[in-house]
């Protein structure tokens, strides 16, 4: 495979059979269409390229900015395409809930604007909804923008009508699958693929999957939100079912751990929804059937999304010298000194004064002669051992004397001879009228 | 297209009722006696609950080791009983007019416990300066005006906070709705120059913001920006002590998330014309149908919230500062700043209800039941504030009233109309679901209206009476009441005299 441009690598993704041992369906062959193997990492590569390829030469000529309402994969693909052609890319979104994706987009050079949150008090002078305002901005700007408009553009659907759908037919030896399962985001892939498959066999059953209403699965809309999408046509789907984020993660773990597919939560939702839907049909089948679902993208961008919902998946073994392992006896044995005693001690024995606050706060005001090791860093240091001699007296200071007491206890347990905590912390120091300096 | 099966239950939006308010609204006899004596509509307030709410916010401060004041945003409710009860707690009060300031002083607040915010006329500024209230300065012009006043009148130095706006975020841009209040961050250097010039008249105590949003990221951006501005103040030798983050912590109005989700889904379906109307003339609350697609935005208060009030504050303080990285509470604490808050709605959560008498029940030609109440839309601002919540039916227990005109039993969707001779005087633009059709003489209780939805917009249009307010309190296990103006937090002492 030799290409002149990465965009030529878009499409022609593998169709991989899921082992019967994994899904447990006796009469249905279940296949995953691995859209995550597109070069920019998702099913959106196809739509992004289809929506821009014709318009790009003129846009480059004019130096347009590519604009889209996307917080995820479409933005990612468009940012890369824009960059390849020397154009800026700007995205306006209110669904920016995945920090890694946000950072990745910044890295790719995208300009992201997150829309304001809802007002606490209703304001009748607020002209309209934010997305309408964005559309108005685009139409008033009189050029300068290439708006790809994924929720309304027929090119989005067309990418799948001419690409994804026919590829599935080809890989199934020209036969349409009996069931097609897709998550509904822009509805572009489900609509386009469904149309292509039904052209081969009108009897294909299409299942659309949406997110539970109060839940959030990246890239999937809820049952209410699909009504806002121009490409969404209820007639496309024989059924619409909803999946929770928990179920999506379950499905994702199965794909990752049992099938070797590095799928993200959306692919997991598709798998979970597919198996749940097919299981009841499977029991009554006599002949063989085929089903295809789409794996939209990869897992790497969703680590914090998963960590928030399933912290146990990231279980860390307990680390040595951790404040979490302190006992009540350790804490009771820790030494604390009040401000007056601390001032005398500093004057007499010059202990090392360690300020555990953040560097911004330390720079603003601190105890003269103290050094700043922010608590997170100090915590890291201690896992490896004492960062100073055990005979060097140390006075630890934090805002109110609580954290510093824990660290004094830990240092003592680690064998330090004279580690003390400033009782009342820097706040107590200030309140006692003791001097704080700013360098 | 197959929809998930829906339960058969009517589209109720049951209010969330905590024990005190529930107990008060269960006191059917008392409520009828009160309305009989004082007329319809009638407001009831629960000062005890206010004190409990203050304690909950205080607990959040404690959990994060933060000092600072809780200022009740007075404009949420004009009741004297609530303000006097508040004066008996450790909270302060945020006043937005000279009259509110006078009210607060009359209720027992002293100047140092008062914060003056909002647009201010010279009289308001003078009285605030005279009593030593903190002035939350809206602009440099106001700073100049206040300083001139202090000098001319020979007043003591006035503590001031600088209200800031126009915050810009690092990383991806977090947009904020433009505000008419506060000084744009880009102009803060000139503002600080002015602060330095006027130090003989004013004493800078901190920075403030109030963003009208439920979005946490926007508030995190603003809070961090305030800390940075205060650092600049310190660099200039000023001694700021606090960041005031305003209010907007929200209230969870509804008992059931499932009811709220189901209702809003059905509302979308109704706007798209796929189900019978849920609202008068298919009003869409900001949503509209355009060629089969749903457009616009639902302009409703998010009435069910998993995180609200003190929980919201806790979550905000636990967020990391967008560029300095430390949790916001830690950032404040480490920089030795107090945290001031100004909740209004959240502090009077569960603190009251509006009662209205049912005057007539009839049906439109289309068969829709209309319930006419002896109050109007301005007396209960639920609709104006976009809060969707069902009223409670408080039946009149005496069986002497006439039989209901329809004789119907069981749950029923009704439209509530008011006592003004105006087509627009619908108490709610949506159909409200009640467990049965009310009868003339019954009461409807609009629960949890003490925050902005009680007397905020009440007026004397068409000479209809404005609701009186009664303060309810418990004594020896039973409910007692006083006219709002007769309630002082020493009622227990009065009884034992």
Q: Is A199 helix (H, G, I), strand (E, B) or coil?
A: helix
Confidence of residue B408 (pLDDT cuts 50, 70, 90): very low
Give the residue ranges of DSSP H helices in A91-224: 99-107, 130-140, 154-159, 165-171, 188-200
pLDDT, residue B91, reads 98
Cα A374 from Cα A355, distance rounded (Å): 7
Residues of B in contact with A223 (CB under 8 A): 4, 265
Please indicate if any CB of chain A lies within 8 Å of the CB of B293.
Answer: yes
| Average pLDDT for B340-357 | 98
Smallest CA–CA distance, residue B222 to chain A, in Å, is 13
B407 pLDDT higher than 60:
no
**Model confidence over A352-364: pLDDT tens digits?**
999 999 999 999 9
CA distance linking residue B136 with residue B130, whole number of Å: 15
Angle of CA points B268, B269, B275, to nearest 5°? 145
At A357 the pLDDT is 97
> Are A229 and A151 contacting, i.e. CB atoms less than 8 angstroms apart?
yes
User: CB B177 to CB A126 under 8 A?
Assistant: yes
From chain B, pick out residues whose CB is under 8 angstroms from the CB of A123: 177, 212
Q: Residue B430 carries which DSSP code?
A: B
Farthest-apart Cα atoms in chain A, separation? 91
Q: Look at B213 and A126 and tell me if their CB atoms are within 8 Å.
A: no
B297 touching A (Cβ < 8 Å): yes
Query: Best interface-test mutation with B: which of A70, A103, A122, A233 has the largest number of B CBs within 10 A?
Result: A122
Q: Answer whether A112 sits within 8 Å of B173, measured CB to CB.
A: yes
Chain A contact present for B118, CB below 8 A:
no
CB-closest option in A123, A362, A438 to B234:
A438
User: Sign of the CA dihedral B323, B324, B327, B328?
Assistant: negative
* pTM, two decimal places: 0.90
Confidence of residue B8 (pLDDT cuts 50, 70, 90): low
Q: Does B214 touch chain A (CB under 8 A)?
A: yes
- The mean pLDDT of chain A is 93
* Residue A425 distance to chain B (closest CA, Å): 10
CA A308 to chain centre: 10
> Tokens standing for A3?
């290409």
Check residue A135 and give its pLDDT: 74
Residue A29 in tokens = 């062959």
Least Cα separation, residue B392 to chain A (angstroms): 24
Burial tier of A54 (Cβ tally within 10 Å: 0-12, 13-18, 19+): exposed
Determine the Cα–Cα distance for residues B155 and B167; give it in Å rounded to an integer.
Answer: 34
Interface predicted TM-score (ipTM) of this complex, two decimals: 0.85
Give the model's pLDDT for residue B405.
Answer: 47
Q: Per the CB < 8 Å rule, is A116 touching B177? A: yes
User: Is residue B309 pLDDT above 50, yes or no?
Assistant: yes
Sign of CA dihedral A38, A44, A46, A52: negative
- Average pLDDT for B69-86: 97
Kindly give the confidence (pLDDT) of every residue in chain A, 439 residues in length, as a single tens digit, with 9 standing for 90 and above.
Answer: 899 999 999 999 999 999 999 999 999 999 999 999 999 999 999 999 999 999 999 999 999 999 998 878 999 999 999 999 999 999 888 766 788 888 899 999 999 888 777 777 776 656 556 566 677 777 777 678 999 989 899 999 999 999 999 999 999 999 999 999 999 999 999 999 999 999 999 999 999 999 998 889 998 998 888 888 889 998 999 999 999 999 999 999 999 999 999 999 999 999 999 999 999 999 999 999 999 999 999 999 999 999 989 989 988 777 889 998 999 999 999 999 999 999 999 999 999 999 999 999 999 999 999 999 999 999 999 998 999 999 999 999 999 999 999 999 999 999 999 999 999 999 999 999 999 999 8
CA distances from A418 to A45, A388, B91 (A): 61, 12, 43
- Chain A positions in Cβ-Cβ contact with residue B175 (cut-off 8 Å): 113-116
| Cβ-based contacts of A430 with chain B (< 8 Å) | 336
The answer, for B176 touching chain A at a CB cutoff of 8 Å, is yes
Mutate to test the interface with A, among B225, B284, B336, B384 (most CBs of A within 10 A): B336
User: Of A118, A121, A430, which has the smallest distance from its Cβ to B385's Cβ?
Assistant: A121
With CA atoms as reference, report the closest residue to B383 among B483, B452, B323, B314. Answer: B452
Inform me whether the C-beta atom of residue B294 falls under 8 Å from chain A C-beta atoms.
Answer: yes
Each residue's pLDDT tens digit, A118-175: 777 776 656 556 566 677 777 777 678 999 989 899 999 999 999 999 999 999 999 9
Q: What is the pLDDT of residue A120?
A: 74
Q: Which of residues 385-404 of B touch A (CB under 8 A)?
A: 385-386
pLDDT tens digits, B371-401: 999 999 999 999 989 999 999 999 996 554 4
Q: What is the pLDDT of residues A81-93, one digit of tens each?
A: 999 999 999 988 8
Q: Contact A224/B264, CB-based, under 8 Å? A: yes
DSSP classification of residue A7 = G
Nearest-angstrom CA–CA distance, B134 and B114: 6
DSSP string computed for B156-203: PPEEEEEEEE----SSSEE-----SSSEEGGGHHHHHHHHHHTTTTEE
Q: What angle do CA B316, B317, B318 make, to 5 degrees?
A: 90
Distance separating alpha carbons of residues B285 and B281, to the nearest angstrom: 11
pLDDT per residue as tens digits for the range A189-218: 999 999 999 999 999 999 999 999 888 999
Output phi, psi for A378, to 5 deg: -60, -40
Scanning B120-159 for CB atoms below 8 A from A yields none
A119, A223, A399 ranked by CB distance to B65: nearest: A399
Partners of B261 on chain A (C-beta within 8 Å) are 213-214
Distance, in angstroms, between B176 CA and closest chain A CA?
5
């Amino acid at each position: 495979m030799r290409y002149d441009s990465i965009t030529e690598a878009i499409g022609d993704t593998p169709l991989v059979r899921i082992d019967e041992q994994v899904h447990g369906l006796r009469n249905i062959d279940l296949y995953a269409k691995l859209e995550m193997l597109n070069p920019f990492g998702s099913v959106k590569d196809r739509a992004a390229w289809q929506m821009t390829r014709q318009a790009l030469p003129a846009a480059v000529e004019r130096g347009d900015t590519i604009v889209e309402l996307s917080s995820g994969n479409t933005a990612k693909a468009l940012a890369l395409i824009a960059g390849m052609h020397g154009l800026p890319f700007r995205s306006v979104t209110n669904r920016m809930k995945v920090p890694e994706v946000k950072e990745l987009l910044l890295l790719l050079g995208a300009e992201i604007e997150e829309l304001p949150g809802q007002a606490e008090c209703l304001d009748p002078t607020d002209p309209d909804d934010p997305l309408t305002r964005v559309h108005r901005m685009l139409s008033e700007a009189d050029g300068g923008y290439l708006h790809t408009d994924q929720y309304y553009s027929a090119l989005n659907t067309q990418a799948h009508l001419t690409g994804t759908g026919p590829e599935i037919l080809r890989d199934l030896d020209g036969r349409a699958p009996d069931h097609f399962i897709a998550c509904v985001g822009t509805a572009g892939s489900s609509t386009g693929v469904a149309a292509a498959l039904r052209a081969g066999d009108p009897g294909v059953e299409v299942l659309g999957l949406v997110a539970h209403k109060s839940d959030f699965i990246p890239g999937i809309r809820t049952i209410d939100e699909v009504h806002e999408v121009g490409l969404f046509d209820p007639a496309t789907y024989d059924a619409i079912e909803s999946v929770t984020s928990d179920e999506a993660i379950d499905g994702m773990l199965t794909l990752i751990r049992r099938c070797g597919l590095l799928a993200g939560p959306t692919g997991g939702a598709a798998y979970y929804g597919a198996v749940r839907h097919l299981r009841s049909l499977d029991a009554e089948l006599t002949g063989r059937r085929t089903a295809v679902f789409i794996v939209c993208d990869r897992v790497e961008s969703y680590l914090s999304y998963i960590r928030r919902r399933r912290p146990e998946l990231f279980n860390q073994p307990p680390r040595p010298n951790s404040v979490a392992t302190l006992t009540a006896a350790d804490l009771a044995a820790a030494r604390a000194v009040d401000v007056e005693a601390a001032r005398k001690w500093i004057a007499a024995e010059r202990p090392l004064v360690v300020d555990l606050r953040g560097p911004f706060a330390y720079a603003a005001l601190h105890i003269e002669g103290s050094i700043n090791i922010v608590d997170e860093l100090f915590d890291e240091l201690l896992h490896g051992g004492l960062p100073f001699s055990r005979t060097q007296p140390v006075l630890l200071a934090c805002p109110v004397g609580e954290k510093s007491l824990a660290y004094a206890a830990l240092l003592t347990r680690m064998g330090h001879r004279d580690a003390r905590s400033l009782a009342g912390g820097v706040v107590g120091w200030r309140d006692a009228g003791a001097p704080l300096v700013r360098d | 297209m197959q929809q998930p099966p829906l339960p058969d239950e009517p589209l109720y939006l049951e209010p969330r009722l905590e024990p005190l308010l529930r107990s008060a609204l269960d006191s059917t006899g008392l409520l009828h006696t009160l309305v009989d004596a004082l007329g319809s509509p009638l407001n009831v307030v629960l000062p005890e609950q206010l004190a409990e709410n203050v304690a909950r916010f205080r607990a959040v401060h404690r959990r994060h080791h933060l000092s600072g004041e809780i200022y009740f945003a007075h404009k949420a409710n004009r009741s004297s009983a609530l303000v006097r009860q508040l004066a008996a707690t450790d909270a302060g009060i945020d006043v937005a007019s000279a009259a509110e300031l006078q009210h607060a002083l009359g209720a027992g607040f002293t100047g140092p416990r008062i914060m003056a915010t909002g647009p201010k006329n010279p009289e308001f500024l003078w009285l605030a300066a005279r009593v030593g209230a903190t002035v939350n300065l809206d602009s440099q012009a106001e700073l100049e005006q206040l300083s001139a006043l202090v000098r001319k009148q020979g007043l003591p130095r006035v503590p001031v906070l600088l209200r800031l706006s126009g915050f810009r975020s690092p990383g991806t841009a977090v947009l904020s709705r433009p505000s008419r209040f506060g000084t744009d961050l880009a102009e803060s250097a000139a503002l600080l120059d002015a602060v330095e010039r006027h130090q003989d008249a004013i004493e800078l105590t901190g920075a403030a913001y109030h963003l009208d949003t439920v979005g946490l990221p926007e508030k995190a951006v603003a809070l961090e920006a305030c800390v940075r501005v205060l650092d600049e103040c310190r660099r200039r030798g000023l001694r700021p002590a606090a960041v005031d983050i305003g209010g907007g912590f929200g209230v969870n109005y509804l008992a059931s998330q499932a009811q709220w989700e189901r209702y809003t889904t059905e509302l979308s379906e109704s706007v798209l014309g796929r189900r019978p109307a849920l609202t008068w003339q298919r009003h869409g609350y900001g949503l509209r149908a355009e060629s089969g697609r749903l457009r616009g935005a639902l302009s409703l208060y998010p009435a069910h919230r998993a995180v609200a009030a003190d929980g919201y504050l806790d979550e905000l303080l636990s967020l990391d500062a967008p560029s300095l990285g430390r949790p916001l509470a830690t950032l404040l604490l480490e920089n030795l700043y107090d945290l001031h808050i100004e909740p209004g709605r959240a502090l009077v959560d569960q603190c009251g209800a509006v009662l209205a008498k049912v005057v007539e029940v009839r049906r439109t030609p289309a068969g829709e039941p209309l319930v006419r109440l002896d109050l109007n839309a301005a007396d209960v601002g639920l609709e104006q504030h976009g809060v969707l919540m069902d009223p409670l039916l408080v039946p009149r227990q005496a069986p002497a009233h006439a039989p209901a005109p329809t004789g119907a039993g069981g749950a029923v969707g009704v439209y509530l109309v008011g006592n003004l001779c105006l087509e627009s005087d619908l108490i709610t633009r949506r159909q409200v679901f009640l467990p049965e059709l009310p009868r003339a003489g019954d009461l409807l209780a609009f629960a949890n209206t003490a925050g902005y939805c009680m007397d905020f917009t009440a007026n004397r249009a068409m000479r209809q009476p404005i609701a009186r307010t009664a303060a309810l309190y418990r004594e020896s296990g039973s409910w007692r009441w006083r006219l709002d103006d007769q309630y002082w937090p020493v009622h227990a002492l009065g009884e034992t005299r």
